[in-house]
A and B are shown apart, each in its own frame.
Chain A
């Protein structure tokens, strides 16, 4: 029997607010352990939380980017459990009244670019506080409360994903959108984005979802993919052998590449959620939400579509340029400075990305080449003032040292020779100096023309328009 897979993801995203969720401590991963702490995040007697407005804003912005309905009235709740990573032994979270409801992420079926568009539904997004970091040593464990109280947004997805590859694309898209929105760095190494997954199998033809298993403790996208593949294989083998899947939570061991049972449904935590009496409900006015909506960046998917439709870029170009907001911003600023779209796309995706890659530099950190200087250069190319090789050399120079392309061209007389009289004179010179290739071309060896064009370029010190040079040579040799 063939089984169909249903995967759902619960993704925790650390928000990059200035301060913690319920106190004024700064967010920092670099500080010495237990230095960014206060009575509130340490859970001292008498301390009270106060909600971080910026975190609420970032969560609402995320919800708006993902097409969620924004709750006008949201509430915090206490989630009770004993563990030293939560100083109060309850986590302030949201349960019945989360900030965002519904929404979706657009992916491709099968997680491949050729797949048909597919909507992966989001159940809700809620806001909570992150736990402390526990470090285990040989004889004891230590708790670092610096992370305790970091604003954490949980995006609870519906089990709409049909394969590990789809799960990967979902996460990549989600990450792209959240980085775009500027609400999180979604840096996986720093633990900015962590996901728990649930996976169930059902026989083909059956609409009813199978028994789900939750898997925790994956630190990377790769780990999630591997854990899902392992779990699907495990459940498939179990079902094919006539067994049944037990509803449970399993732990992924990345070193062994296996999942292990942590606890079954019977032993599941009873978190005893109840409304947080120390915090007022979050009531958002229509105006407030509208104000945040207006400040939203364009979603990457919308940008991609616009690049194709209004700029006429091929799908591939639009995809590359829209994938990262800084690159898309650079591209659009270059257009705004007067560069033609296709030319700008080619040069940014080609030469500029190559130079950045070689220098291990991020476009956001690029200071030498600016959208204005690139646009100036491309305008010179477009007007045929400089030829391709000259422009390439110029870009490399500006990338290294900065500068204004127009000024450099003027200063060094790099403008392309496009005067047909001058080119014809150079062509004649080239033919005279190279009688053999000239004779070969006349005799029908087309390749010899390229050599002669090269000679014209040399004589012009690279400034001749190669196309015009070829035309002049053909005319003289015909």
Chain B
């Protein structure tokens, strides 16, 4: 069997090769499995690989193709963050509390990928329950940044980004609650797309913060991200928050992409002290290229940016405190009962030993901000400020088509450098959480590497809710300018 080099193979070019008959899906999938076996030991992106299931899926895809089917994702293996329910596969969310849990149903996004012929080939690492920005909060293993192995891949979808950047997957799905797709994409040098809130179904995606979570692709280029978004977007009767709005043809939106005449806003609050000067310089340079290519660049203000982190860590933890309450040892997952056999001991021990420290920290924080006497001061006030953050963007998008800014204040940081300083780690989310609070769509595309260490830096593009065509067109044009 021919071994295919997948290290820089895009979904679109793999599909072209499949269509031409250069190789079969079984051959492609086997190559992905072989590559994982050979190279993932050094990276640690995958938690589990479903080789048999993947090859069976590939054989089925080949049969569908022989029967005349032709789809953009037919026969393409896709790596899945360990947060998605895939029927018959484990779904641990990188947590001990779900060790051994096997999903009994497919998430809507998984069902849609399968319908398109894509193959969920393996489960990739993440911060436990998507809480973190380095994937170091996984209960099971460390994932290294393929570009710089002593550094984190970012998080929480760190496995998704590392798999794509490390040549261990053509593309992957992640989730983004406060930057968990865009930031690891930035750290690893991939394209990471967070769709608008309500664009993609959350059904079957283990919830972290329900009003912020969105599913999106991490891919090699903007076109692949558009192809994956096309497959997963659209209303779902199982998720009332997934809105019934038409799904445009995203790939078609890329044709002839240009920034000429595009109104670009540059928020001054995102270019402040504390941001790595190299990051700032690379993002500025990208914006200059856009201006040179005919974009009308103007400085804008998003005055409530400084409150976004506080609002985010109140809203997200409050929702998480309830969302994670179901992990109690009663029905599934880790179950540990004390010597007295009491219900309380079941709760206490299962959760104490099942959850890691970051998850516990957030559950406690969320429980606190909702508790009687503190609700108004924290949660209720946070909701009000969230509205102000949203209004900042509404006002900005009345003047500009897209916002360009950094994804994270730094490039990938070293392993073990933030785990003991949660507050510092939270502050690193400052440029990504506002998009989640406002329900915007956003993307991180590579915009160069730092001069000293050659670390990838991402450019963040933000557009109004449901303006994915503009977002993708802008991203595609910038991708061309930055090559």
Binding site for B on A (CB under 8 A): 39, 42-51, 78, 80, 82, 84, 87-90, 143, 270, 272-274, 277-280
Q: How far is the CA of A348 from the CA of B238 in the complex (A)?
A: 51
Q: Across the interface, do A90 and B325 meet the contact criterion of CB distance under 8 Å?
A: yes
Instruction: Tell me which residues across on chain A come within 8 A of B332, comparing CB atoms.
Output: 44
Which A residues are CB-close (under 8 A) to B454?
A: none
Q: Which B residues from 303 to 346 make CB contacts under 8 A with A?
A: 318-319, 321-322, 325-328, 330-332, 343
Instruction: Tell me, yes or no, whether B228 is within 8 Å of chain A by CB.
Output: no
Q: List 18 A-B contacts (CB under 8 A).
A: A39-B104, A44-B105, A46-B202, A46-B205, A48-B238, A48-B239, A50-B240, A80-B370, A88-B322, A90-B322, A270-B372, A272-B322, A272-B367, A272-B371, A274-B318, A274-B375, A277-B241, A280-B241
| B residues less than 8 Å from A42 (CB atoms) | 331
B101 close to A45 (CB less than 8 A)? yes
B285-312 CB mask vs A (1 if < 8 Å, else 0) is 0000000000000000000000000000
The yes or no answer to B406 lying at the interface (CB within 8 A) is no
Decide yes or no whether B91 CB sits under 8 A from chain A: yes
Contact between A46 and B206, CB atoms less than 8 A apart: yes
Q: Does B207 reach chain A (CB closer than 8 Å)?
A: yes
Report A285 CB to chain B, min CB distance, Å: 17
Number of interface residues of B (CB under 8 A): 43
A84-B328 Cα distance, complex, nearest whole Å: 9
Is B442 an interface position by the 8 A CB rule? no
Q: Which one, B104, B241, B328, contacts A278 given CB within 8 A?
A: B241
Contact A84 B343 (CB under 8 A): yes
- Chain A CB count within 10 A is highest, among B91, B203, B209, for B203
Shortest CB-to-CB span from B333 to chain A, Å, is 8
Tell me, in angstroms, the Cα distance from A89 to B347 when the chains sit together. 11
Contacts of B347 in A (CB 8 A): 82
Q: Min CB distance, B306 to chain A, in Å?
A: 24
What does the 1/0 interface line of B68-91 toward A look like (CB < 8 Å)? 000000000000000011000001
Assess A84 versus B330: contact at CB under 8 Å? Given A46-B203, A48-B203. Answer: yes
Cβ-defined contact, A89 with B326, below 8 A: yes
A183 to B388, CA, bound (A): 42
Within 8 A of A (CB), among B195-214: 202-207, 209-211
The residue from B321, B326, B330 contacting A45, defined by CB atoms under 8 A apart: B326
Nearest opposing residue in chain A for B198, CB measure: A280
Residues of B340-378 contacting chain A, CB below 8 A: 343, 347, 367, 370-372, 375
Tell me how far the C-beta of A440 lies from the nearest C-beta in chain B, rounded to whole angstroms.
88
Is B93 positioned at the interface, with any CB of A under 8 Å from its CB?
A: yes
Is the Cβ of A44 less than 8 Å from the Cβ of B104?
yes
Q: Which residues of B contact A270 (CB under 8 A)?
A: 371-372
B164: min CB distance to chain A, Å: 23
Contact A82 B240 (CB under 8 A): no
B107 sits at the interface (CB 8 A): yes
Which residues of the partner chain B approach A80 to less than 8 Å between Cβ atoms?
321-322, 325, 370
Across-interface contacts of B241 in A (CB, < 8 A): 48, 277-280
A80 CA to B318 CA in the complex, in Å?
Answer: 11
| Residues B207 and A46 in contact, CB atoms below 8 Å apart | yes
Interface centre among A78, A274, A279 (most CB of B within 10 A): A274
7 pairs of A and B residues whose beta carbons are closest in the complex: A89-B325, A277-B210, A272-B370, A277-B211, A45-B206, A46-B204, A43-B326
Bound: A49/B207 CA distance, A: 12
B385 to chain A, nearest CB (A): 16
Indicate whether B237 reaches chain A with its CB closer than 8 angstroms. Answer: yes
Cβ-defined contact, B379 with A274, below 8 A: yes
List, in ascending order, chain A residues with CB within 8 A of B239's CB. Answer: 48, 50, 278
Q: Which residues of A contact B331 (CB under 8 A)?
A: 42-44, 87
Q: How far is the CB of B230 from chain A (nearest CB, A)?
A: 22
**Which residues of the partner chain A approach B91 to less than 8 Å between Cβ atoms?**
45-46
Residue ID in chain B nearest A82 by CB atoms: B347
User: Chain A's nearest CB lies how many Å from the CB of B163?
Assistant: 21
- Return B465 CB to nearest CB of chain A, in Å: 15
Bound CA–CA A188/B370 (angstroms): 36
B98 located at the interface, meaning its Cβ lies under 8 Å from any Cβ of chain A in the complex:
yes
A278, B372: Cβ atoms closer than 8 Å: no
Q: Are B105 and A39 in contact (CB under 8 A)?
A: yes
A88 touches B330 (CB 8 A): no
Residues of A within 8 A of B84 (CB): 46
Is the beta-carbon distance between B240 and A279 smaller than 8 angstroms? Answer: yes
Separation of A41 and B325 alpha carbons in the complex (Å): 14
- A148 to chain B minimum Cβ distance, whole angstroms, is 11
Distance in angstroms from B91 CB to nearest chain A CB is: 6
Residues of B within 8 A of A46 (CB): 84-85, 91, 103, 107, 202-207
Collect the chain A residues with CB atoms within 8 Å of residue B343's CB: 84
Shortest Cβ gap from A213 to chain B (Å): 21
B213's nearest neighbour on chain A, judged by CB, is A277
Contacts of B207 in A (CB 8 A): 45-46, 48, 278
Q: In the bound complex, do residue B318 and residue A278 qualify as a contact, i.e. CB atoms below 8 Å apart?
A: no
A279 and B207 alpha carbons, distance in the complex (Å): 14
**Whole-angstrom distance from the CB of A172 to the nearest CB of chain B?**
36
Nearest neighbor of A271 in chain B, beta-carbon distance: B372
Q: How far is the CB of A90 from chain B (nearest CB, A)?
A: 5
Taken together as a complex, chains A and B put the C-alpha atoms of A88 and B238 apart, in Å, by: 17
| One of A87, A272, A273 near B326 (C-beta < 8 A) | A87
CA distance A46 to B208 in the complex (A): 10
Contact: B330 with A143, CB < 8 Å? yes
Type the 1/0 row for B237-249, where 1 means its CB is closer than 8 Å to any CB of A.
1111100000000
Q: Which single member of A47, A51, A87, A273 contacts B240 (CB below 8 Å)?
A: A51
Q: What separation, in Å, do the CA atoms of A87 and B331 have in the docked complex?
A: 8
Give the residues in chain B near A280, CB-CB below 8 Å. 240-241
CA separation between A449 and B450, bound complex, in Å?
125
Please give, as numbers and ranges, the residues of chain A lying within 8 Å of B93 by CB-CB distance. 45
For A43, the chain B residues whose CB sits under 8 A away are 326, 331
The residue of chain B having its C-beta at the shortest distance from the C-beta of A88 within the complex is B326
Residues of chain A with a CB closer than 8 A to B238's CB? 48, 50
